[in-house]
Amino acid sequence: MRGNEFAELQAFLAVAEQGSFVRAAEALQVSPSALSQTIKGLEARLDVRLFHRTTRRVGLSQAGERLLARLKPAVEEVEAAVADAAELGERPQGRLRLHAFRVGYQLYLAPLLARFAEAYPDIELDLTLDDQPVDMIEAGFDGAIRLGELLEQDMIAMPLGATLRHCVVASPAYVKRHGKPVTPSDLHRHRCINWRWPGQMHPYQWEFHRDGGWFRVAVHGPLIINDLRAMLEAAVNGVGIAFTVDAWAAPLIREGRLVTMLDEWCAPFDGFYFCYPRQRHHLAAMRVFIDFLKRNA
């Protein structure tokens, strides 16, 4: 393939992806008229119309759609091969945009940040901590830490650590004043701290397990909060009973600042995963980050 033919195909891809000659010309740093002439030359060489043009929009013809379907993966593979060759002998570098649930971050990423920064000083992690699930691709994230039940089907997912387990906790002072619930239904007579998913109107219902099945309990109390760390702090301070994850509450339990209850009603569940879009090529920075998590998380 001659150089000008490859340039024509790159121009075609730019117009197809941008849906506009003006925007595609800006991306390619050429004039719209020059880009238009390039596309006309490609159409003349192929003897087929690739775009339907109107004064308001540019759309692919049937031939254009067929060319795009075959051409885009091929060009991505070529670009990946060039990127791989360029990365040989160089230290991984660049910025990774990551989204993480706060508990997942605290359990699996926060303890590793110093070691990762020392091992890969040229990689910058841009972290967003948020308990609200997001569309990773639409939001522009390279990867995310989220619960297994919230994984998207088109993502590659890597488990972080073992399974988790819910636990019900309160401060020793609260237990001394109010006692412990014996069954989940007893929670209706207790002061419970509700947690609400960000963006949700109603509080999260506590999940328990019995006789091979899960069931939910809606609880009530003096506080509704949307931050899990603040919820635990409120429990330590005697505000009421909290529903959390055993691995996160473990240090406070060991220190005697929290005590557990209803343990026989709490069962393991699918824990956190690191997930990322399924695609042909990832930057070297992403690949070393994934390998780092596999070795250490």
Cα separation, 20 vs 6, in Å, equals 20
Q: How many Å apart are CA 155 and CA 294, to the nearest integer? A: 17
Write down the residue that tokens 């390998």 correspond to: 291
- The alpha-carbon radius of gyration of the chain (Å, integer) is 27
Lookup: tokens for 254? 């060991």
Least Cα distance to 206 among 172, 240, 168, 261 occurs for 168
pLDDT (0 to 100) of residue 73: 82
Tokens 């091992």 appear where?
119
281 contacts: CB under 8 Å, gap ≥ 6: 76, 77, 79, 80, 83, 84
Q: Is the pTM of this model over 0.85?
A: no
pLDDT for the residue 282: 60
Beta strands in the chain (DSSP E): 51-53, 58-60, 94-100, 123-129, 143-147, 155-159, 164-170, 193-195, 206-210, 213-217, 223-225, 242-245, 259-261, 268-269, 272-277
Query: What tokens were used for 247?
Result: 């691995």
Intervals of the chain under pLDDT 50: 88, 280
What pLDDT shows up at residue 90? Answer: 59
Residue 274: which of 139, 118, 127 has the closest Cα?
127
Q: How far apart are CA 70 and CA 7, in angstroms?
A: 16
Q: For residue range 177-214, list pLDDT tens digits in order.
A: 999 999 999 999 999 999 987 777 889 899 999 888 89
Which residues lie closer than 8 Å to 75 by C-beta, 6 or more apart?
A: 9, 10, 13
